[in-house]
Homo-oligomer: A and B are copies of this chain.
Amino acid sequence: MSEPLRLGIAGLGTVGVGVVRIIRQQAALLEARLGRKITISAVSARSKDRDRGVSLSGYDWENDPIKLATRDDIDVFVELMGGEDGPAKDATEAALKAGKQVVTANKAMLAIHGAELAELAENNGLVLRYEAAVAGGIPVIKTLTEGLAGNQISRVMGVMNGSCNFILTRMENSGKTYEEIFAEADGLGYLEADPQLDVGGIDAAHKLALLAAIAFGTRPDFAGIQLEGIERVSIDDIRAAADMGYKIKLLGVAQKTGRGLEQRMQPCLVPDTSPLGQLDGGTNMVVIEGDAVGQIVLRGPGAGEGPTASAVMSDICDIARGWRGPVFGQPVASLQSAVAATSQRPAAYYLRMTLVDKPGAMAKIATVLGDAGVSINRMRQYEHTDTNAPVLIVTHKTDRASLDRALCAMGTTGVLAAEPVALRIEEV
């Protein structure tokens, strides 16, 4: 294996430039580690003339990524264009059909079309690798697929969108509203061109779908994810949760249940002393639980040029070393179709209510909860000057159906001054 490994890189945004930079600056280190050179035969991007701060001299330029993907002088097609469909998917398919190994950072494409692309790769005896698609620089795909291959995985969860975690922690530290911090993050360029991908939880859900597929041997099932973004997380809830010893995180959780695969991406409360609770700013964290290993926690930068390029390089180096392996942890033909299941497992919930301040109001709420079989673990009513009383409740473990019955019945009591807020408290 002494010939160079020849790359064709499509997409020269932050990540693509980062990969080019590493290959140029760490050439000697890479050759020492891999026993062969990594070379770039050609690149492709939307604009040829843009100054990207890195020299592209010595690389052929292709305007058409499909042309690039099928060149005779590349061994690996590196897809860094992004996008669920369109050029990224067309070029990836063309590369696999042309017998090229593929490395991609494209979580959307894999979350939606992962199984079919994996079939194409495996039928052609090729690898399709995507370490950079999940949690940036954290080698979580490798950890789950290889490092924990001897484990029956019971749960995978994590904070996998740095922008959302930045917004939530900035809200907590500054006391500002969601709208204010959203504008700040947008101004800092922390958000995708379509911010819904971030704050709507879609980007993080793409990642969760990939982790769940590997963990539980199912085809990626993005559509089966119970998805809720952070747009409705208020500074009041962040303050109240902190007062009760919790942090609010956009938490992705995947779990195999008797009735199917449970995948949730939603704002949850976690204890402020837990590793997840202590995760501030743009950092990502993935927690993996297996029958043999117990709990493994991985923490690191979830985005940015260096971290994401580092993950892409991990895949490239594996291919250079001759690594072959299934795309989703086992041959794609043996993956089950995921049966989406909503969580039936009891959980504790955080409730925040605003009650009209009149005698018996609290009693009505307590009665309604009791009637629905929801018992109260902790309750706080805050001093208040206006006519409405803010009330917090942490319930004992209850199933969601009972809680929903209670929430519905509350609406009929006439003591609610506003829509109650209910958030799941995830056991971590």
Q: Which residues of A contact B (CB under 8 A)?
A: 18, 22, 26, 29-30, 32-35, 131, 137-139, 142-143, 146-152, 217, 273, 275, 278, 290-301, 304, 306-307, 309-314, 316-318, 321-326, 329-331, 334
Q: Is the CB of B330 within 8 A of A310?
A: no
Task: Assess A150 versus B292: contact at CB under 8 Å? Given A143-B139, A321-B324.
Answer: no
Closest chain B CB from A294 CB (angstroms): 5
Given contacts A142-B147, A275-B275, 18 further A-B contacts (CB under 8 A): A26-B150, A29-B152, A32-B217, A33-B329, A33-B330, A35-B326, A35-B330, A137-B292, A139-B143, A146-B318, A146-B321, A149-B317, A149-B318, A150-B317, A275-B278, A292-B310, A293-B311, A298-B299
Complex CA gap A301/B298 in Å reads 13
Contact status B152-A146, CB under 8 Å: no
A348 to chain B, nearest CB (A): 23
**With A26-B152, A299-B297, A314-B146 as given contacts, are A292 and B321 in contact (CB-CB < 8 Å)?**
no
Knowing A30-B150, A142-B143, A322-B324 touch, does A313 contact B292 (C-beta < 8 A)? yes
- Copies of this chain, how many? 2
Q: Which residues from chain B contact A275 at a C-beta distance below 8 Å?
A: 275, 278, 299
- A310 B217 Cβ-Cβ under 8 A: no
A131 CB contact (under 8 Å) in B32, B138, B147, B151: B147
A121 CB to closest chain B CB, in angstroms? Answer: 15
CB-based contact A148/B293 at 8 Å: no
A-B CB contact pairs (8 Å), 9 listed: A18-B292, A137-B292, A137-B294, A142-B143, A146-B314, A146-B318, A147-B314, A291-B306, A296-B298
Partner of A293 from B30, B300, B330 at Cβ < 8 Å: B300
Q: Given A143-B142, A314-B147, A296 and B295 touching (CB < 8 A)?
A: no
Hey, which chain B residues are within 8 Å of A309, CB to CB?
150, 292
Residue among A152, A312, A317 with the most chain B CB within 10 A?
Answer: A317
- Which residues of chain B are within 8 angstroms of A317 by Cβ–Cβ distance? 146, 149-150
Once the chains are docked, how many angstroms separate the CA of A150 from the CA of B149? 23
> What separation, in Å, do the CA atoms of A301 and B273 have in the docked complex?
18
A146 pairs with B150, CB closer than 8 A? no
Bound Cα distance from A292 to B308, whole angstroms: 8
CB distance from A406 to the nearest CB of B (A): 36
With a CB–CB cut-off of 8 A, which chain B residues contact A323?
Answer: 146, 323, 325
Contact A146 B139 (CB under 8 A): yes
Nearest CB in chain B to that of A145: its residue? B33
Pick the residue among B33, B146, B304, B322 that contacts A149 (CB under 8 A).
B33
A331 and B150 contact, Cβ closer than 8 Å, known pairs A137-B294, A293-B307, A300-B296: no
Q: A22-B292, A297-B299, A301-B293 are in contact. Are A32 and B334 (CB under 8 A)?
A: yes
